[in-house]
């Protein structure tokens, strides 16, 4: 193995986002763990950014909409989750008991069926949660959890799904909760400060996390290391990056690797600083949603349940569930799920601004994907089958956003000498005028899914296009203009 990267910040910062990730545009995230057994979280407040902005961090911790946070919310006295658990499982039923039921349920799981589905809906890559904050492992590690016996899947979920995904030409990524592990720390997160301080820092845990990442890299060869929340202090994370890049030159790491030194943790505990942090956290969430501070090195950003207003020079990936939870939440109804039309418009908007969409599915304990989630991702796949040329392999144009004179929103992407003007609705009129778009004299305009050239003309700095008769109803229509129009 040629060692191109050295274990230091200067060296790993030379790594560049691989072309395949720029081209892929759409990935499937999978949150599947012990929380899929009780599958409970509070609903009714919208997504996490809405709830946090409206009610604050302390309220959020008690009423967390993320079902995969079940264990933390269970540990908060008086929370709806504690009440649900007591009524359904009793006072003396520990969370780790769900491991028996989960392992029994996944005996019927079909990884080949999952991989077929992900390929069918047009995903370029898949990111699987290998260990969430509850500490349960989805592979039989040679370094098992030292705090709880048999706290892992009996099947090698990571290995089986990785093999199935790769065999269909998709890339495989691994989520791992680096900073938080509630099997090592039983004190719940109840506010912004306890969130910062909750991650274990003892040498035993640091070595445990370092070992797991190396094991996942060596055994399964992922294309993405998708760490969450942060990374334990007291270790050189650049050593891990260099090891990964040298083994997987076209791999990449996300932006959730910030290390929070022990010395700063002591300062944060003081009441004046604690109050300031709680205040600042509220302001930041209201302004920009859920997005972590950029660490010294990362390949791309991962804002959660939020988007960008403009084209971002830095590559990014919008991360969200189809509902308001990542893990399966039996309390959510399909009315709280993204429908396919919304999801397609979201994908187009994100791609126009140099982003990818990593859309999460939350399977039931036995691997069944809820019908509403299936409808959403299959709707995306149906649209991509016709309009994928306007998405895959494209890059941002000089601007992302436009409109017609009748106020239909437009997003732009480009590929070589082609511009795609993507209408975020079905126009009612037979002709549209795109504002501030000047086509070259010999341009051709076509509608994806329709081979006929469309008639067009200039109207000053605008572009008038005659649409095909009986334009089918669709959430989005993609117009292909060749060559690229003149700049504004």
Residue 267 lies in a domain: yes
How many domains would you assign to the chain?
A: 2
Residue 345 lies in a domain: yes
- Please give the Cα distance from 266 to 258 (Å, whole number): 17
Contacts of 229 (CB under 8 A, 6+ apart): 133, 177, 178, 179, 180, 199, 256, 292
CATH number of domain containing 453: 2.60.40.1180
Record the pTM.
0.95
Q: Are residues 129 and 154 in the same domain?
A: yes
Asked if 222 and 173 touch (Cβ cutoff 8 Å), the reply is: yes
Query: What residue numbers bound the domain in which 454 lies?
Result: 401-482
Q: Are residues 307 and 416 in the same domain?
A: no
- Please give the Cα distance from 7 to 170 (Å, whole number): 29
Q: Are residues 101 and 151 in the same domain?
A: yes
Q: Are residues 382 and 471 in the same domain?
A: no
Task: Return left, alpha or beta for 96; rule: phi > 0 is left, psi -120 to 50 is alpha, else beta.
Answer: alpha
Residue 289 lies in a domain: yes
The pLDDT tens digits along the chain (488 residues) read 567 999 999 999 999 999 999 999 999 999 999 999 999 999 988 787 787 778 888 999 999 999 999 999 999 999 999 999 999 999 999 999 999 999 999 999 999 999 999 999 999 999 999 999 999 999 999 999 999 999 999 999 999 999 999 999 999 999 999 999 999 999 999 998 889 889 999 999 999 999 999 999 999 999 999 999 999 999 999 999 999 999 999 999 999 999 987 776 666 665 565 555 555 555 555 555 566 778 999 999 999 999 899 999 999 999 999 999 999 999 999 899 999 999 999 999 999 999 999 999 999 999 999 999 999 999 999 999 999 999 999 999 999 999 999 999 999 999 999 999 999 999 999 999 999 999 988 999 999 999 899 999 999 999 999 999 888 889 999 999 999 886 65
């Amino acid at each position: 193995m040629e060692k191109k990267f050295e274990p230091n910040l200067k060296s790993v910062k030379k790594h560049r986002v691989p072309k395949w990730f720029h081209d892929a545009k759409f990935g499937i995230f999978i949150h599947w763990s012990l929380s899929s057994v009780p599958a409970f979280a509070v609903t009714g407040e919208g997504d996490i950014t809405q709830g946090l902005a409206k009610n604050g961090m302390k309220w959020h911790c008690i009423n967390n909409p993320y079902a995969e946070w079940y264990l933390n919310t269970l540990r908060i006295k008086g929370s709806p989750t504690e009440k649900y658990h007591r009524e359904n499982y009793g006072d003396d039923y520990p969370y780790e008991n769900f491991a028996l039921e989960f392992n029994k349920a996944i005996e019927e799981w079909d990884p080949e069926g999952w991989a077929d589905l992900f390929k069918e809906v047009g995903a370029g890559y898949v990111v699987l949660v290998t260990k969430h904050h509850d500490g349960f492992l989805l592979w039989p590690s040679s370094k098992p959890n030292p705090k709880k016996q048999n706290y892992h899947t009996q099947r090698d979920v990571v290995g089986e799904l990785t093999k199935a995904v790769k065999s269909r030409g998709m890339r495989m990524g691994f989520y791992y909760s680096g900073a938080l592990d509630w099997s090592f720390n039983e004190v719940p997160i109840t506010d912004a400060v306890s969130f910062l301080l909750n991650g274990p820092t003892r040498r035993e845990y640091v070595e445990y996390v370092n070992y797991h990442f190396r094991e996942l890299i060596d055994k399964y060869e992922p294309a993405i290391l998708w760490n969450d929340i942060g990374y334990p202090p007291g270790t050189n994370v650049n050593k891990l990056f260099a090891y990964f890049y040298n083994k997987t030159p076209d791999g990449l790491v996300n932006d959730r690797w910030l290390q929070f030194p022990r010395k700063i943790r002591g300062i944060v505990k003081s009441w004046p600083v604690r109050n300031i942090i709680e205040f600042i956290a509220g302001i930041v969430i209201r302004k920009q949603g859920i997005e972590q501070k950029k660490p010294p090195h990362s390949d791309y950003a991962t804002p959660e349940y939020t988007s960008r207003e403009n084209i971002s020079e830095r590559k990014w990936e919008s991360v969200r569930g189809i509902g308001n939870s990542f893990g399966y939440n039996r309390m959510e109804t399909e009315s709280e799920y993204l429908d396919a039309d919304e999801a397609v418009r979201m994908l187009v908007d994100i791609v126009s601004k140099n982003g990818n969409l990593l859309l999460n599915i939350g399977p039931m304990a036995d691997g069944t994907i809820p019908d509403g989630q299936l409808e959403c991702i299959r709707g995306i796949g149906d649209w991509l089958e016709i309009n994928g040329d306007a998405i895959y392999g494209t890059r941002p144009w000089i601007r992302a956003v436009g409109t017609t004179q009748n106020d239909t929103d437009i997003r732009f992407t480009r590929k070589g000498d082609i511009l795609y003007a993507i209408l975020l609705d079905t126009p009612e009129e037979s002709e549209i005028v795109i504002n501030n778009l000047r086509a070259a004299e010999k341009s051709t305009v076509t509608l994806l899914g329709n081979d006929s050239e469309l008639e067009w003309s200039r109207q000053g700095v605008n572009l008038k296009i005659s649409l095909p008769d009986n334009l089918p109803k669709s959430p989005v229509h993609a117009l292909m203009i060749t060559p690229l129009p003149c700049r504004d």
